[in-house]
Amino acid sequence: MREDADEVQYFCEKCFSHPELIAEVKDRGVFLENCPICHGLNVQALSIDDATLRRMLRAFFRLYFSEFEYNEHVGGESLGFILFGKNKIFDLDSSIANEGEFEAAVSSVESGWYPPSDVEVSLGGGYWDGALLFSPYDWLDSEIYKIFARSLTTNYYELIEPLRALFISIRANVSRQVTSDLHLHRARKGFDKRYSARGEIVGTSYAFTPYSGKFIGAPPISTAVEGRFNRAHISVLYAASDESTAVSEIRPEPGQIVSVGKFKQVKPLLLADFSISSIKPYLTDATFQQLHRIISFDMVLSVPVADDARPIYLIPQLVADVIRSEGFDGIAFDSTLSIGRNYVIFKPEAFEFVEGSEAVCVVNKLQWKTSRLPVRSAKISKENDDWVEEPNTLASTLDGLIEMHRRRVKGARRERP
């Protein structure tokens, strides 16, 4: 079906960067010869008045942006301005795309900031009362934060039931049945044996035997040490969706040799999966609150923890205890160190090593990205001091790790020149 773009405003498949929006337009869109926004040719497009597309876009606006960023009454920029260009939602070449058409389309989608809570996602919280809305990546679910902050000063068994109640509230959204199609990757620092080539000068040519089978699988209970999701002498299988992520998660040094191998699922599994595969279940205010809680769980579980902050392991260990006691066989969440996904399998026997998949690799290079943080001057007087020392340094460390994860997920926003 062909449509006249001059009569109706459209977003086309090439306007978007988010895969779910692209798929939605391709699946239900109409044919346009020329998109008036991005100027894509011969594309599928949906009207900005399409109810599902409108609700999806509003949910994505809230997912990646907080109200203080887009509410001009409190010093923010307009959504049309912030979103014009390349970001988590749109993929627009600012030198070609029509900014006026785009801002008009976004303005139409965002109209009605305070809809009925069961219709679509609100974009305003009532700024005149100081009630701004935050992106789930900018603000942890308050109930989760309270429990996790207490976990640093309270015996873990006192927090199990409160945490269980929070998990049960999102259980249906994160439950994932996996029958037999899951193949995972493992990595371990080092190798089993090394061989030098006959007749070669010593140190110039080597071959290796990698760790394989049980030597790269989950450790025996007797030797299992504390990990992110397990206490000492509890054996779990840590694995990843791909080799690169598996290697990244063990954090090898440049030049270090690593053994890798694959594992295949042999028993059905019930996983608690905290990744967001679709925005569609969260298109109203009530359901968006559930999304906020899921993301809060995911952020706390997935932030990388340095050796000097290992007491923070108390938090994911507590979550693992609750999830295991609810009958789940493992946890899945996105990696913050690579592009893949991490898996924690409570029943290692549900996987078997794939014979012949073992290999040895060397780490060629690591790349670290840094960003500057505020610094408090040691010379500042108490009368002029805007900073208050925090008594709980571990809680502060957790906040810092979550902030790093937030920046990674949300990406850079557009600023006025």
* pTM listed for this prediction: 0.85
Domain interval for residue 192: 136-417
Q: Can you give the pLDDT of all 417 residues of the chain as single tens digits?
A: 444 445 679 999 999 999 999 999 999 999 999 999 999 999 999 999 999 999 999 999 999 999 999 999 888 999 999 999 999 999 999 999 999 999 999 999 999 998 887 889 999 987 655 679 999 988 889 898 888 878 878 888 899 999 999 999 999 999 999 988 899 999 999 999 998 887 666 656 889 999 999 999 999 999 999 888 998 999 999 999 999 999 999 989 999 999 999 999 999 999 999 988 899 999 999 999 999 999 999 988 887 666 666 667 888 899 999 999 999 999 999 888 888 999 999 999 999 999 999 999 999 887 777 777 777 776 776 666 777 776 555 555 566 656 655 555 655 555 544
Query: What's the domain count of the chain?
Result: 2
Determine contact, residues 173/292, Cβ cutoff 8 Å: no
257 occurs within a structural domain: yes
123 falls within a domain: yes
110 and 147, same domain (yes or no): no
Q: In this structure, is residue 254 part of a structural domain? A: yes
**pLDDT for the residue numbered 417:** 46
DSSP string spanning 100-144? HHHHHHHHHHH--SS--TTTS--S---GGGT-----TTTS--HHH
Residue 308: per-residue pLDDT: 61
Residue among 55, 46, 52 nearest 123 (CA): 55
Q: How far apart are CA 29 and CA 11, in angstroms?
A: 9
411's torsion region: left (phi>0), alpha (psi -120 to 50) or beta?
left
**Whether residues 168 and 239 fall in one domain:** yes
Q: Let me know if residue 170 belongs to a domain.
A: yes
Q: Which of 293, 93, 263, 80 is nearest to 187 (CA)?
A: 263
- Is the CA virtual torsion 118, 124, 129, 135 positive or negative? positive
Residues 107 and 181 in one domain: no
Are residues 361 and 408 part of one domain?
Answer: yes
Q: What is the pLDDT of residue 126?
A: 77
- Domain membership flag for residue 4: no
* Domain final residue pick, 86, 103, 135: 135
Shared domain for 23 and 109, answered yes or no, is yes
Residues 295, 312 share a domain = yes
Whether 5 is covered by a domain: the verdict is no
Residues 144 and 281 in one domain: yes
Indicate whether 43 and 158 sit together in one domain: no
- Last residue of some domain: 73, 102, 135? 135
Residues 129 and 141 grouped into a single domain: no
Model pLDDT, residue 127: 62
- The span from the first CA to the last CA of the chain, in angstroms, equals 41
Residue 270 lies in a domain: yes
Q: Does 1 fall in a domain?
A: no
Same domain, 342 and 415: yes
280: nearest Cα among 171, 124, 173, 413: 173
DSSP state of 370: -
| DSSP letters spanning 233-278 | T---EEEESSHHHHHHHT-PPTT-EEEEEEEEE-S-EEEEE-S---
For residues 195 and 298, membership in a common domain is answered with yes
Residue ending a domain, choose from 108, 135, 162: 135
Spatial contact of 57 and 283, defined as CB atoms under 8 Å apart: no
- Judge if 16 and 158 occupy the same domain: no
State how far the alpha carbon of 144 is from the alpha carbons of 62, 159, 166, in Å.
Answer: 20, 11, 8
